[in-house]
Chains A and B, each alone.
Chain A
Amino acid sequence: MTPEEYFIVRVALAITSIALTIFLGSKSGALIMRNLSKFGRSFASKLAELVKYFIIILGAIVAFSILSLDVIVLTSISIGIFIVLLISMRDVFSNYAGEIYLRVRRPFDEGDFIKVGRISGRVVSINSQDVELVSVKGERIIIPNQFFLKYPVVNKSSAAPTSIELKVVFSGVAPEEAEKIVAEALSVIQPELFEDPKILSIITRDDKTEVDLLLSVANQQKMKWLIGRLSKELHGRGVEVEIV
């Protein structure tokens, strides 16, 4: 093969490489759009674009290397550019990472009332770079997405009833008697509960009877008060009990 023929083959291969990566990039983009649209169309479209161009750039690098430009030089240049981009746009990338976290983990939705760090408010919109809140005072607050990777988020709108399991331990009381005492005490605190309390199990070990209970409340701040009230009711019935 003459050097001219060899060069033509390399050019053809380089063009094929670019064409192939353009094709692969488009297909990957479509695949990402199809599978990740459930996390939001704009998010999926942005990710698809990113992956598409990344694959095309890879193809271009391969094409250059086929054209006999030194691979090490090209790789070094690419890595250099990538590092500079990463450093200069670290906040932007960090916000994108935050968006991925918000879309995949879904700690809150638009309309929820949240608290992150010292800031609290209702979520108006979740964007690629930030989340917009309206505070209790009516102020508009923009929080960069990276904030949600650093600070715990409290979603106050997801105040679904909370259930806790309690163990009441009786000393020297028969299981039937223990069940009766617990049922009486539960009937007193029942009006404060979100759902009817449940006795999950009654187990006897040595001379102790353990009663497992399930209590659910909407206001989680009430739990400590409820346990105190239950304890008082049980002690008031003249039995030695321990709540675990």
Chain B
Amino acid sequence: MRSVVIGGGHLAYFAITALRDIDPRGRLTIIEFTSEKVEMLKKTFPFADVVLSSIEGVEEYISRNRFLIDVLVSATDSDALNLRYAKHSIKIDLPIVIAILNNPLNEPVFAKENVRYVINPYKTIESKIKEIVGKFRVNVIHEFSKVEGGIYAIKVEDAKTLRRVQSFVLKSDTPFFVLSTDKRIRASSAKDIQIGDVIYLACHDREIKGLLKKIGRLES
């Protein structure tokens, strides 16, 4: 697989490491704008081709290699540049275009501009804090990238929530597991869910929204 990562900062570091991990024999090209960083990247990632380019030259490079690039990750330190390169790559039909955000508040802008795969590195902060402190009613653990859905944690605080959650699991046949108050992880029947347990549900957005409305944890 031929991947191109634009940028040489810390966001790009994780993207490069992940791409190398999933495809150790694949071709990886890093595009950077400063010669100092290019030298540093060549030493840090000897397996990659590191290209020095101007900001304007990136689009030309992508266009020239559009028949060969499988994955493009736009991970510069500027969201404006990331959006610009992602939009250009989508326009010329690259199959997988990923943008990594610097400012999470820019996420809707990327979504509006047709960038389907946007990584928000800050997304886990909220769910992690909720999970660590252990005081939450609903927690988004993971959002799927290719499906409108994810893994959601719901704390079963009372009998009403318990009944609704059990009914939801039985009716929708949603895969779930339970983290009980004694820190045990169970994946048994819906009838074994108890008050105090945290239930983790893997389902579509619309299904979890329906359940949250029923248990009064989402405004209709």
Binding site for B on A (CB under 8 A): 109-113, 121-122, 134-136, 138, 156-157, 159, 190-194, 217-222, 225
Tell whether B87 is near chain A: CB-to-CB under 8 Å. Answer: yes
Most buried by B among A138, A156, A194: A194
**CB within 8 Å of A: which B112-167 residues:** 112-114, 116, 148
A159 touches B95 (CB 8 A): yes
Alpha-carbon distance between A221 and B91 when the two chains are bound, in angstroms: 14
B87 touches A191 (CB 8 A): no
Q: 1/0 per residue B63-85: CB within 8 Å of A?
A: 00011111100000000000000
B2 contact set on A, CB distance < 8 A: 191-192, 219, 222
A194 touches B1 (CB 8 A): yes
B114 contact set on A, CB distance < 8 A: 113, 121-122, 134-136
Q: Of the candidates B26, B70, B87, B116, which one forms a contact with A136 in the assembled complex, judged by CB atoms under 8 Å apart?
A: B87
B87 contact set on A, CB distance < 8 A: 136
Tell whether B211 is near chain A: CB-to-CB under 8 Å. Answer: no
Q: Contact residue range for chain B?
A: 20 to 34
How would you classify the secondary structure of chain B's contact residues: helix, strand, loop or mixed?
loop
A218 touches B96 (CB 8 A): yes
Q: How many A-B residue pairs have CB under 8 A?
A: 64
Most buried by B among A112, A121, A217, A219: A219
Alpha-carbon distance between A7 and B70 when the two chains are bound, in angstroms: 79
B116 touches A225 (CB 8 A): no
Task: Quote the shortest CB–CB distance from A238 to chain B (angstroms).
Answer: 26
Q: Of the candidates A122, A136, A157, A221, which one forms a contact with B67 in the assembled complex, judged by CB atoms under 8 Å apart?
A: A221
B66 touches A221 (CB 8 A): yes
Alpha-carbon distance between A112 and B209 when the two chains are bound, in angstroms: 21
A113 contact set on B, CB distance < 8 A: 90, 114, 116
Q: 1/0 per residue B169-185: CB within 8 Å of A?
A: 00000000000000000
A192 touches B1 (CB 8 A): yes
A192 contact set on B, CB distance < 8 A: 1-2, 26-27, 68
Task: Quote the shortest CB–CB distance from A216 to chain B (angstroms).
Answer: 10
A194 contact set on B, CB distance < 8 A: 1, 70
A134 touches B112 (CB 8 A): yes
B68 contact set on A, CB distance < 8 A: 192, 219, 222, 225
B91 touches A136 (CB 8 A): yes
Task: Quote the shortest CB–CB distance from A97 to chain B (angstroms).
Answer: 25
A157 touches B116 (CB 8 A): yes
Which chain B residue has the least Cβ–Cβ distance from A220?
A: B95
A110 contact set on B, CB distance < 8 A: 148
Using A159-B95, A192-B27 as known contacts, say yes or no to A111 and B116 having CB atoms under 8 A apart. Answer: yes
B116 touches A217 (CB 8 A): no
Task: Quote the shortest CB–CB distance from A134 to chain B (angstroms).
Answer: 6
Using A121-B114, A194-B1 as known contacts, say yes or no to A217 and B70 having CB atoms under 8 A apart. Answer: yes
The 8 closest A-B pairs by CB, nearest first: A159-B95, A218-B70, A122-B114, A221-B67, A191-B27, A218-B95, A219-B70, A219-B95
